Chain A
Amino acid sequence: MRLFRLLRSVPITYRVPAIVALLMVVTSAVISERVLDRLSRTQEAFLDSLSETYLDGLEAAVLPAVLREDVWEIFDALERSLSSNSALAPIETVITGLDGRVLAASDPHTIATFSELPSQYLDRYGQGAVMINQTNRTGVAKRDLGYQGQHIGAIHATFDVSQLFAERQELLVALLVTNGVLALALSLGGFLLVQRMIAPMRVLENHMRAAAHGASEPIPPHDIPPGDGEVAGLFRGYNTLVHAERERYNLATRLADEEKMASLGRLASGMAHEINNPLGGLFNALDTLKKHGETPGVRDTSVSLIERGLAGIRDVVEAALATYRPERSRRPMTADDLDDVRLLMKPELRRRRQRLDWNVSCSPRELPVAGGPVRQAALNLLLNASAATPEGGTISLKAENSQALLTIEVGDEGSGIQPEIADILIGADPEPAVLAGRGLGLWMVRRLTDELGGTATIQAKPAGGTVVILALPLERSAQAHAA
């Protein structure tokens, strides 16, 4: 199991050659064992046959001499048989007579004529024709000599079988070398083949990695292998995916822009209303000035009215400018940004006769987070909350910050947020709902939150309604800003 896990952890480029090599080793081990076993049996059968032939010939040659105990004739026959048996390589042959004594040995210096046969010759034989001694690499065989049914002696032969072992050794070495070379060649081939096979996958992997970091690019046509239909199909599929993604993104961006313009239109009409409201008073004040301007009390009051009316108009215009001027959106956030949001929300709140529960306890100093996106996000959330809350209801905004985090909570009294709309804020993929043309305001919040490296969560209020909480990191925003 561990080996299996270990194998799985090895890259496929090395895993396949390793498995090929492993299979080759196992295969060659099995084949070698079978071949050597077969060779061994063939050799032993061959040796048995040769020894039988040798003993047959020798028996025929020495039998009359053994009957006569003719030492010289026996020895002469032994010498001739040794010189004529180069295939069998007899090392030593001993002929014993009726009494078991040696009549002649091929090497009389070792075993003297008429001596007792050494005891080890008596118990060295087994069942087979030739008993092989692996230690000293010899084979021994015995043939009883009989004449007219009577035992008259025996032949004790010893053969050199080192050639058999040498042949086995040679074969084993040849098998090992051949299989080793084959395993190496196949492993190398496997390595190169897998390298070649997964090379297009690497291209795809690199593109996908880049896409994960936001830079999805289609695979250039020259990187698409012309002959490999599967890989080309995969690459084209990926390119189609990239193009579709781009189209989706463009569409969503366009929709968001349209939504932005729509909300801008609403804001603009609200602003016009906000500007228009004091205009009546201003004109009244102007009439009053024209008619009763010489009266100090009236003049001062009218001027004061005009001044406050114009100040209100200026505030509204400044808030709108601050929100929709991109060049101002990168500056650090201040409490004024949220005040602007509150100001911009006023017309909508008035229109829907809603109340805004405002609870901002942020640091009065600049916070290290881009002010523009925060304003935009807060404004969108409030507009959404306002839309979700029935007329005459209450929406809320609560903002606070710690050293590392700015938290903005926007509450409504709506009937709850639909899951697919909630996914725009908190889901992994906001695309489906956006493509359906819903929740564009929330999608903008999502984009802004993502830009700021923050997270959004949605909670249901116990008394009904929903709270959207944005948690925006300050340090990261600061670093991003510094960068």
Chain B
Amino acid sequence: MKSRREPSRREGLSRRAFIAGSIASAALTMPSRSRAGDRPFGFGLTPVFLTNDLELLAYLRSFLSARLDCPVELVSRRTYQEITALLVSGQIESAWICGFPYVQYRAVLDLVATPVWQGKPLYQSYLIVAADRVAGDWGALRGDIHAFSDPDSNSGFLVTRTLLAKNRLMPAAFFSRSFFTYGHRNVIRAVASGLAQSGSVDGYVYEVMRETDPELVNQTRIVRRSEWLGFPPIASPKSLAADPRIGALQQALLSMNESPDGQKALQLLRLDGFTPTDPSLFDTIAAEVEVVRQFG
């Protein structure tokens, strides 16, 4: 019963332990994938992303295939967890994941590049409510039916979870009910339609949708903006560090602006480009994880 499940650190940890175990066993049992061109380059896309925009996927696939000089398979799944598991287990070569899973699995993951939005590789998490609702601050959301994006989403879950933990509150106690929509756009739809009274949503997705779907976004308003956090990065398994395609991917992303397909993809994503970042960019998220862990 996910809507009633209290998202907890313990559960997150057990899942992480399970995935780490899977990786270990995969590393032991599977022969290392060596040569490029054996199979398509798997590139995972988490639902952190806007939508399954076919036009964007076409540009992205075209761009990556050209730059990696091999077929690229774009892999989408409903939840973050599924993509993270595929990545961490080495079933895909790279993925655009959220900062939260990266922090959880940074021991086995390398950062390839981080998107730059509005000049910085940073974004925020928003708490949103219906546009006509009177709510001064996040405290007014007590007793709400709350829509989270994904249990492995930083902006769509962890930030709010941390906020409550800092205030010695558990989501199940603060909200009357909560459920996951597995997509930031869905959080906005849930709040706009009245299915949920408030929601935790990715600030970047919210701002981009304010341009692309103002009718929907204007039915909501922001109650709280979080501090600036590391933008969801492109990561790959450490085990593939020697794979030349990972290097080629990094080069492709960093020079995405130089290709027409890359430019179109960036334009659709409203991103400035990609930048190489240090893992320390995600220390703030790691700190949140620690807060939640300590509160229990």
B positions within 8 Å CB-CB of A: 1-4, 145, 147, 176-177, 179-182, 186, 189-190, 193-196
Contact = CB atoms under 8 A, between A and B. Distances in A.
A165 to B, nearest CB: 30
Contacts of B147: 72
A114 B194 contact: no
A71 interface: yes
Nearest to A72: B181
Given A70-B2, A71-B195, A114-B176, 8 more contacts: A69-B1, A69-B4, A70-B3, A72-B181, A75-B190, A109-B194, A112-B145, A114-B177
A76 B189 CA distance: 9
A114 B182 CA distance: 19
A113 B1 contact: no
B194 A112 contact: yes
Interface of A: 68-72, 75-76, 79, 104, 107-109, 112-114
A121 to B, nearest CB: 18
A203 to B, nearest CB: 82
A471 B273 CA distance: 137
A71 B145 CA distance: 11
A107 B194 contact: yes
Given A108-B195, A112-B194, A68 B1 contact: yes
29 contacts: A68-B1, A68-B2, A69-B1, A69-B2, A69-B3, A70-B3, A70-B179, A71-B3, A71-B179, A71-B195, A72-B179, A72-B180, A72-B182, A72-B186, A72-B190, A75-B190, A75-B193, A79-B189, A104-B195, A107-B193, A108-B193, A108-B194, A109-B194, A112-B145, A112-B194, A113-B145, A113-B177, A114-B145, A114-B176
Contacts of A108: 193-195
B187 to A, nearest CB: 9
A217 B3 CA distance: 109
Nearest to B147: A72
Nearest to B4: A69
Given A72-B147, A72-B179, A72-B190, A113 B4 contact: no
Contacts of A114: 145, 176-177
- Across the A-B interface, give the 6 residue pairs with the lowest CB-CB distance, nearest first: A108-B194, A109-B194, A72-B181, A108-B195, A71-B179, A75-B195
Contacts of A112: 145, 194
Contacts, number: 43
A382 B286 CA distance: 157
Given A72-B179, A72-B190, A75-B190, A113 B2 contact: no
Max chain B CB contacts within 10 Å: which of A72, A76, A112? A72
Nearest to B181: A72
B243 to A, nearest CB: 37
A383 B195 CA distance: 127
B81 to A, nearest CB: 15
Nearest to A111: B194
Nearest to B78: A73
Contacts of B1: 68-69
Contacts of B195: 71-72, 75, 104, 108, 113
A251 B177 CA distance: 124
Nearest to B197: A112
Contacts of A76: 186
A409 to B, nearest CB: 118
A124 to B, nearest CB: 23
A153 B195 CA distance: 19
Contacts of B177: 113-114
A196 B181 CA distance: 83
A76 B1 CA distance: 17
Contacts of A109: 193-194
A79 B216 CA distance: 14
A108 B196 CA distance: 8
Contacts of B2: 68-70
Max chain A CB contacts within 10 Å: which of B180, B194, B196? B194
Contacts of B190: 72, 75
Max chain A CB contacts within 10 Å: which of B3, B179, B194? B179
A70 B150 CA distance: 13
A174 B3 CA distance: 55
Max chain A CB contacts within 10 Å: which of B182, B189, B193? B193
A92 to B, nearest CB: 13
A112 B196 CA distance: 9
Contacts of A70: 2-3, 179
Contacts of A107: 193-194
A113 B197 CA distance: 10
B267 to A, nearest CB: 28
A69 B196 CA distance: 15
B133 to A, nearest CB: 12
A68 B3 CA distance: 9
Contacts of B186: 72, 76
B216 to A, nearest CB: 12
Contacts of A69: 1-4
Nearest to A76: B186
A104 B145 CA distance: 12
A70 B181 CA distance: 9
Contacts of A79: 189, 193
A108 B147 CA distance: 13
A113 B145 CA distance: 8
A113 B176 CA distance: 11
A75 B179 CA distance: 12
A114 B197 CA distance: 12
Nearest to B177: A114
A14 B182 CA distance: 80
A68 B78 CA distance: 15
A102 to B, nearest CB: 11
A71 B1 CA distance: 10
Max chain B CB contacts within 10 Å: which of A71, A75, A112, A114? A71
Contacts of B176: 114
B226 to A, nearest CB: 22
A311 B228 CA distance: 167
Contacts of B181: 72
A62 B58 CA distance: 30
A404 to B, nearest CB: 107
A70 B195 CA distance: 12
A75 B145 CA distance: 14
Nearest to B130: A109
A113 to B, nearest CB: 6
A69 B177 CA distance: 12
Nearest to B195: A108
Nearest to B186: A72
